Structure formats: structure tokens, C-alpha cells
Structure 1
């Protein structure tokens, strides 16, 4: 059952649009936990709110799932998040860990991606500071 839900979820991610956000309940358990670098929420309405917010913040958001690794009640995805803002195109690589409940619905969703390198490095002052910090922490 997880495989059917997982494929449906991947298809949903890759074609998500404002009109399809309401389908989240088909894939997520009612009390699902969703975590990413900016959010830590519980429940389908809160998850839908995150995706609705995404469409207000960026233009033409699109997920491209690159790899899938599955276990008994879990899966990991790697993906690229493509979007534009201010006329500039961005590609943010990331990964998602999913855990499924006995009904095959997602009960835990955790996204891993680096907002500093993906979004903030290009900003004039903040980017300079972050690049300096990254350079200092880099193994030489």
C-alpha cells in the first residue's frame, strides 16, 4: 500500500499547483508531522498552508524527484526545487525522509536542504558574511 501512496505522492509533488494543494489529505495522515528548515507543523491543514505559502513567495515552483529509496514503512527522496523570483531562476537541491503509518499515509515528513547556500548566498551583505563563515569552516 505504501508504494501506491508513495507514487501518488511523488506525482502530486511534481505537478503541484494551487488547485491541487487540497489533495494533501490523500497522502498525509490527519495528524502528520511536517518539518523543513522554516516550518515544524502537525496536521494536513498546516501542511497545505505551507504549500499555499510557497506559491505566494516564488514564481513557477516545481519539484523534480531524482531518486527514491524505500524501506518497510519509510522512503527517502532526493529532489530539485526549481523556481524563479525577481526574474532569476533557482534550483535548490534537497532530500525528504518520509515515514508511513499502517494505513500507508505519510505520518512524518522531514525535508533537508540548505537555505543559506540556496537562497541567502546571493544577497549582498548576508551573502558575504555567509561565504566568509563557510570558507572558515571548510576543511583546507
Structure 2
């Protein structure tokens, strides 16, 4: 049985240190058959996960992950994080995504076998797109419950 607290700490450190030149270091913390899912992607395999992160660094500038917390219960874990970045097409607009990653750890190897990101794409990404953002903000105001 692997030290899963140590495995989670290594995975968290790999994400916080993730840069274009460190993508290959994910091999040490992700299982070869990892399933990775976020609001836009649902992929399987370490090769695809590395390609997804490389594409993120192609599309975004100054990507930084800061962990706000981590929790583990057996083979399942959660990381709370903030991602600061800028899109290449709008480099003067710093953006931020706050989310959580649900992880499954292999008890024998300590490698992450599943990584599922949960974050609100509508308010944290789409609302920054000029025309779409206007429509979404207006819709949000219409359906919001008034404060007492």
C-alpha cells in the first residue's frame, strides 16, 4: 500500500509547478490510463493529458495554479485551486478561474487514475467574451434571486 498522503502532496506540487517545460513531469504522478475531464474535455490516457496541457500553454500566457486546499478520504481526494492566466488573443486582460479537482489515487502506485475538474465556465470564462458575456450577465441578473 502506497502512502496516499505523500502521493497527493506530489500531485499537488506537480500542478502548482506546472509550466510548459514541466509537462512531461506529469508522468511521475499520473497513471498511463488516466481519465481527465473538465468543462470542455473528456480524455483518456497520459499522452492525451500531456497534449491537453501543452495546448493550454499554447492558448494561454502566464498560467499559474495556486492550491487553496487539499482533502483525502481513502483513494479519493479533492484539490481546491485558483488558475491565473491571460488568453493569447486578449493578453492585456488577466483572468482567473477558481475550481476543484476530484481525484482518484491508485493505492498500489499512488498515481492519479482520474482527474475531474469542476468550475463554472459561464461566469469564469464565457462572461469575459465580449458579446456572449453581455448576454450571460443579463441572463444571470434576470434569473437571480433578489437579496432580502
Are residues 1:135 and 2:135 paired?
no
Q: Return the alpha-carbon distance in structure 2 between the equivalents of residues 63 and 14 of structure 1.
A: 5
Q: Return the alpha-carbon distance in structure 2 between the equivalents of residues 137 and 112 of structure 1.
A: 22
Give the TM-score, by structure 1 length.
0.94
Are residues 1:87 and 2:89 paired?
no
Give the TM-score, by structure 2 length.
0.89
Gap regions ≥5 residues in structure 2: none
Structure 1 residue corresponding to 2:52, chosen from 50, 55, 60: 50
Q: Return the alpha-carbon distance in structure 2 between the equivalents of residues 132 and 14 of structure 1.
A: 35
Q: Return the alpha-carbon distance in structure 1 between the equivalents of residues 14 and 97 of structure 2.
A: 19
Cα deviation for residue 43 of structure 1 reads: 0.7
Following TM superposition, where does structure 1 have runs of at least 4 consecutive aligned residues deviating by more than 6 angstroms? none
Are residues 1:124 and 2:142 paired?
no
Q: Which residue number in structure 1 is paired with residue 18 of structure 2? A: 16
Q: Return the alpha-carbon distance in structure 2 between the equivalents of residues 50 and 120 of structure 1.
A: 20
Cα deviation for residue 123 of structure 1 reads: 2.4
Q: Which residue number in structure 2 is paired with residue 68 of structure 1? A: 70
Q: Return the alpha-carbon distance in structure 2 between the equivalents of residues 65 and 59 of structure 1.
A: 19
Count matched residues. 140
Gap regions ≥5 residues in structure 1: none
